[in-house]
Amino acid sequence: MTRNDLITEIEHPPCKLACPILTDVREYVQLIAERRYEEAFATIRKQSPLPRVCGRICTHPCETACKRGQVDEPIAIAALKRFASDGLWRDQYEAALPGKSTGHKVAVVGSGPAGLAAAHDLALLGHGVTIFEALPVLGGMLRVGVPEYRLPKNVVDEEIQAILDLGVEVKTGVRIGEEIKLTDLFEQGYKAVFMGIGAHRDRKLHIAGEDKLEGVVSAVSFLRGVNQAEKPRVGVKVAVIGGGNTAIDSARSALRLGAEGVHIVYRRSREEMPAAKEEIEEAAHEGVQMSYLTSPLEILGRDGKVSALKCIKNELGEPDDSGRRSPKPVPGSEFTFDVDMVIAAIGQAPDSSLVAEEIEVTEKRKRIIVDGPYTLVTTQPGVFAGGDAVTGPATVVEAISAGKRAAISIDSYLRGESPATVESAGPTETERLSSVIIEKTTKFERCVKTSLPADNRVKGFDEVEAVLSEDVAVKEALRCLHCFLGARLDKEKCISCLTCVRVCPLSIPTTSKMGEITIDPIACQACGMCALECPVRAIDISLDHRGEMSQEIEKGMAESHQPDPVIVGFFDLHGNFGSSDVESLKQDYPNILPVMVFGLRKIDTSDILKAFESGADGVFLAGCPPDTDPFAETADRVKRRMTHARTLLDAMGIDGARLEVCDMPEQGIVDKELIDGLIQRIKEAGQARSE
């Protein structure tokens, strides 16, 4: 069985499938679009014990898979996660702790993202958890490896505290395998152990001058000094060797510590560089120089100190085991440039030597051996392992995924059950949209994140990127194409009238030679037109809040103590909303009950009648401006539908003039003159009835 086999029964969007912990991206993006931020955070927090961390430094594979990227640019998912996770509403979240303890004790060795995730989930399952950490602080590489300009310490500390609040105990300054053996833990009453020791050992360059000259340092020790406020000394001209995020962090940190020039030396091209694209761009923006297709040959020195770096140019050959093209030295291309400091950032390895006598590790890289990437069972009964100690250096979210998988396996083990055996599946491919749909889909620019000017950044370690504002976050969330939330056809009800084919703005419904209708759920963007126009109600749409909308109207009308006349106002969420506009509306017009909808195209005649039935004296529909409407071509059908609604109201003895429809003005969400006119008409109609 593969990971994909487990999820075929339910159609998940590509962003969720791309996430190693299967975070329901689409749901929390949708909730942000609806301005339901507390619920958005709860959705994120269910899967991730470190949401604020991931919102800042996750490599966001979900964005690579995002279907919106086929149209213009992917949704800024990581930025939206940070927005939802940084807000004060996160304080309202309460984890669902079990009613009673299982009585089992579990030791978690290492407090990096894998260990923290395992501890979090095991505590929620009712087990007693103790974290053993060799360092004096918790967080692993999150705390001592990632600079504060990317991940502030207070964010890490607050995320960890939320996990400790679940009843997790901590013992810092304890190196398992040295002071305490694994067997000692079992003798102390622990029934299972999770090894999440990370990869904190440096890999050597293996070139001349590396071990003899002052000014050669490893990236791990350099960044540890940076993060523990030691302020390590840097040279005037610094060379950083490597192409991962650790190399980028080292280079940007060196600038902040006073280096006048920093060069990153990487043996492959920019395309093969494993560091996150945005991190490379930010480093270049701050002034870091990049030397691609370059390998170091020798570190040269003078008087026992680094004086220069001798390199050779490369060309790319055939792909190697990593899938990247192998660098081949170009004969005669050697060159030298002056540096007085070299930071080696070519990778890390786990420090598993202390436990190698008790559990099996690989011969070459000393990684802990497990029987599969899902069960994470080691060769020692009751001992499980995951994260960088098993895979080698990977991403934060991959480490979190390992911790969560280990918690499931440990729970099964403690209950006397066999752990689930699920094979790892390769990357899930996003279905391609047709060129016709891409052409017809409205383009909207991706949000621009606010960040410190480059000159100000390198003066210290203040966080570079700011959290999105509410208005920008909502606007960005509205770019979502709603994969698998669109139209679903009940073929038993369908009469093949072709109404859906005619009204769809993207031409998604198709018909066979026999007249059978098919709607592609991955291509449908949930505009809702077909569902409302279908004469036999054979189409359902997941993104349909009409039931909730009716309840909202009934509740609002029942609780209304506002002056007459009471007006129900339907507002298109794609409109000119600012964070304070709704509150301003309530102050200016306390007699308006605002109801937010995803497009007036989703408002049916029955919704209008329901508002009047609930006691509304009038109904106002404010559509978004055409340039912000993802389906502007549906406006004419909406207007015809409202004309029909007015006719029905007149036939029922309710003046159709009590229904007003317009687009929002360029500024704000209501045209006050139009609203005042509607109120006046309602009052005049009331006076006429009384006479």
What are the pLDDT digits (tens) for 246-265? 999 999 999 999 999 999 99
DSSP for 305-369, please give it. Answer: EEEEEEEEEEEEEEE-TTSSEEEEE-TT--EEEE-SEEEE-S-EE---GGGTTTS-B-TTT-PBP
Annotation: CATH topology of 202-348:
FAD/NAD(P)-binding domain (3.50.50)
Residue 350 has which token pair? Answer: 């786990």
Cis omega (within 30 of 0) on the bond before 381?
Answer: no
The residues pairing with 623 across neighbouring beta strands, listed in sequence order, are 663
Give the dihedral of Cα atoms 238, 239, 241, 245; nearest 10 deg: 50
Mean pLDDT value of segment 350-359? 81
- Whole-angstrom Cα Rg for the chain: 30
SS3 state at 687: helix
Rounded Cα gap, residues 157 and 64, in angstroms: 30
What is the distance, to the nearest Å, from the Cα of residue 547 to the centroid of all Cα atoms in its chain? 29
SS3 state at 539: strand
CB 669 within 8 A of CB 575: yes
Please give the pLDDT value at position 320: 81
The residues pairing with 361 across neighbouring beta strands, listed in sequence order, are 368
Query: Would you say residue 2 has pLDDT above 70?
Result: no
Query: Would you say residue 513 has pLDDT above 70?
Result: yes
The residues pairing with 336 across neighbouring beta strands, listed in sequence order, are 310
Please give the pLDDT value at position 429: 67
CB 361 within 8 A of CB 368: yes
What is the distance, to the nearest Å, from the Cα of residue 145 to the centroid of all Cα atoms in its chain? 21
Supply φ then ψ for residue 144, to 5 degrees: -115, 0
> Alpha carbon of 30 to those of 529, 543, 583: distances in Å?
19, 9, 22
Please give the pLDDT value at position 98: 85
Mean pLDDT value of segment 68-91? 96
Interhelix angle for 635-651 vs 605-613, to 10°? 40
Check if CATH label 1.10.1060 holds for domain 3-94+433-477. Answer: yes
Alpha helices in 137-276 (DSSP H): 141-144, 153-164, 182-187, 219-227, 245-256
Query: Would you say residue 8 has pLDDT above 50?
Result: no
CB 378 within 8 A of CB 369: yes
CB 368 within 8 A of CB 356: no
Annotation: CATH topology of 105-199+350-414:
FAD/NAD(P)-binding domain (3.50.50)
Query: Would you say residue 422 has pLDDT above 70?
Result: no
CB 476 within 8 A of CB 518: no
Mean pLDDT value of segment 457-475? 95
590 membership: H or E segment, kind and range: none
Q: Tell me the residue length of the chain.
A: 691
- Only one residue has tokens 């927005």, namely 83
CB 150 within 8 A of CB 246: no
Which residues does 206 contact at the CB level (< 8 Å), separation at least 6? none
Domains 105-199+350-414 and 202-348 share a fold: yes
Please give the pLDDT value at position 683: 80
The residues pairing with 261 across neighbouring beta strands, listed in sequence order, are 237
Domain spanning 546-690, CATH class: alpha beta
> Alpha carbon of 633 to those of 229, 487, 636: distances in Å?
58, 18, 7
Residue 670 has which token pair? Answer: 């209501």
Q: How confident is the model at residue 9 (pLDDT cuts 50, 70, 90)?
A: very low
Query: Would you say residue 164 has pLDDT above 60?
Result: yes
Q: How confident is the model at residue 585 (pLDDT cuts 50, 70, 90)?
A: confident
43-47, 152-156, 444-448, 485-489: which range is least confident on average?
485-489
Q: How confident is the model at residue 6 (pLDDT cuts 50, 70, 90)?
A: very low
pTM (2 d.p.) = 0.92
Please give the pLDDT value at position 548: 78
Query: Would you say residue 528 has pLDDT above 60?
Result: yes
56-70, 112-126, 329-343, 621-635: which range is least confident on average?
621-635
Alpha helices in 66-112 (DSSP H): 77-86
404 membership: H or E segment, kind and range: helix 396-414
The residues pairing with 489 across neighbouring beta strands, listed in sequence order, are 539
Give the dihedral of Cα atoms 69, 72, 74, 75; nearest 10 deg: -140
Query: Would you say residue 552 has pLDDT above 90?
Result: no
Comparing CA positions, the residue from 444, 502, 678, 479 lying closest to residue 598 is 479
What are the pLDDT digits (tens) for 428-455? 667 889 999 999 999 999 999 899 998 8
Mean pLDDT value of segment 102-107? 97
The residues pairing with 663 across neighbouring beta strands, listed in sequence order, are 623
Options 3.40.50.300, 3.30.750.80, 3.30.70.20, 2.70.98.60; CATH for 487-541 is 3.30.70.20
- In the chain, where are the structural domains located? 3-94+433-477, 105-199+350-414, 202-348, 487-541, 546-690
Please give the pLDDT value at position 399: 97
Residue 512 has which token pair? Answer: 């066979």
